[in-house]
Amino acid sequence: MKPSPAFDRLEAIVVQILGLHGTHLEPSTRPTDVPGWDSLANVNIVFAVEEEFGVEFSEAELKSFGTIGEFAAGVDAALARGQIG
């Protein structure tokens, strides 16, 4: 998978919300492998990402994101279709 333009900003949000200062995430990382990324944190991260990029995901889209890289690609796709949150 080619690197997603949204990845770095998304990573910054995750690092900030979960307090993982100094940590770097890989596109292949699954949320369940990141300390503190529980279901509530997941909702909070999704909402923060949506606000940052001005997009909104459907429930089906959210379920399709298995890794952080897929999440970032989802952001790119939403931006490409010009969806405004």
Partner 1 sequence: MDADRRPADARARAEVPSAETCLEDANAALAAGDLTAAYRSLLPVADLTGAYRPWAAAVALLSRLEAAGPAPGRRREIRVAVAGSYTTAQLASFLKLAALRRGVGVDVHEVGFDLYAQEILDPSSGLYRFAPDYVVVAPHEGAIPFPTFSDDPAAAVAAEADRWERLWRAVQEHSSARVVQHNVVLRPESPWGHVGARLAGSRDEMLRALNAELARRAGNEVLVVDCDRIASAIGKERWFDDRYFHLAKQAVALDALPELARHTAAVLAAAEGLSAKCVVVDLDNTLWGGVIAEDGLAGIKLGAGDPAGEAHVAFQRYLAALRQRGILLAVVSKNNDADARKPFEEHPDMVLQLDDFATFIANWEDKATNLRRVAETLNIGLDSLVFVDDNPAEREVVRQVLPDVEVVTIPREPARYVRALSQTLLFEAAAVTAEDLARPVQYAARAAALRLQENAGTLDDFYASLEMEALVAPFDELNLPRIAQLVGKTNQFNVTTRRHGLAELRAFADDPGYETMYVRLRDAFVDHGLVAVLVARQDGDALDIDTWLMSCRVIGRTVEHTMLEQLCELAQARGLRRLKGTYLPTEKNAVVQDLFERLGFSCLSGVAGAESTWEYDIQANGVIRSEFIRRWDEAVAGV
Q: What is the binding site for partner 1 (CB under 8 A)?
A: 13, 16-21, 36, 39-40, 43-44, 46-48
CB 22 → partner 1: shortest distance, Å?
8
Whole-angstrom distance, CA of residue 84 vs CA of residue 68 = 22
Nearer to partner 1, 16 or 28 (CB): 16
Name which of 23 and 28 has its Cβ closer to partner 1: 23
Query: 2 or 59, CB closer to partner 1?
Result: 59
CA 75 – CA 50 distance, rounded (Å): 8
Q: How far is the CB of 52 from partner 1 (least distance, A)?
A: 8
Cα 44 from Cα 6, distance rounded (Å) = 18
Smallest gap from residue 48 Cβ to partner 1 (A): 5
Tokens 């690092």 -> residue: 15
Which residue shows structure tokens 């931006």? 79
| Number of Cβ atoms within 10 Å of the Cβ of 54 | 12
